[in-house]
Copies of this chain bind each other. A is one copy, B any other.
Amino acid sequence: MKLKDSNKENAIIEQTLDIVYETGIAGVKMSKLAKRVGISPSTLYVYFETKEDLIVSVARRILKNIAAGLESVLAESTSFENKLRAKWIHMVQFTINHEKEINFMDQWKRSPYFDKNIFKEMKDGFKMKMMLFQEGRDSGYLKDLDDNIIHAIMAGIANQTVTLIKAGHLQMNQSTLDLTFSIIRDALKR
């Protein structure tokens, strides 16, 4: 008995990400996708019940990957500022390295396939990132700001930083990271 080929499933998801990156979520056509994966359109339906199921599955997988990627890092740095700096660098690099995934989530949120319930799963996966901020407030380093606000400021500036890098107004190097982190620090430091 042949089982579903998980390589094939991965290939489908990979191509979906690529197509969304190239042509937007509305550019995902089941037959075009099948052709790029090298299978028949009807075979897609062996792996995903509907197109919506496919899109949502891609979103769910990305959420898992993002959550996993955000956990690691920091830990052994000594000072809090070093930890915050490490987190900042990680955020910027992550935003750059996962262009396609971030782009997908961006588009998914505004698409007819968006499902709020699934989106909430992400929130939980993000809980732990906040513990760092609590430590910063407790040690008197950070302003007394809500976790959401602190994260929002960092995320907002990270997004814009990456936009400026992609537009050529900034370069992805140490000096840019230093510059932007100094802004973050000034913004958040008590």
Contact = CB atoms under 8 A, between A and B. Distances in A.
B146 A152 contact: no
A132 to B, nearest CB: 18
A30 to B, nearest CB: 15
Contacts of A112: 23-24, 26-27
What is the interface residue range for chain A against chain B?
35 or more
Interface in A21-70: 23-27
B148 A156 contact: no
Given A25-B26, A112-B23, A164 B148 contact: yes
A110 B24 contact: yes
Given A103-B110, A152-B164, 9 more contacts: A24-B26, A24-B110, A24-B111, A24-B112, A146-B169, A149-B164, A152-B157, A157-B157, A184-B187
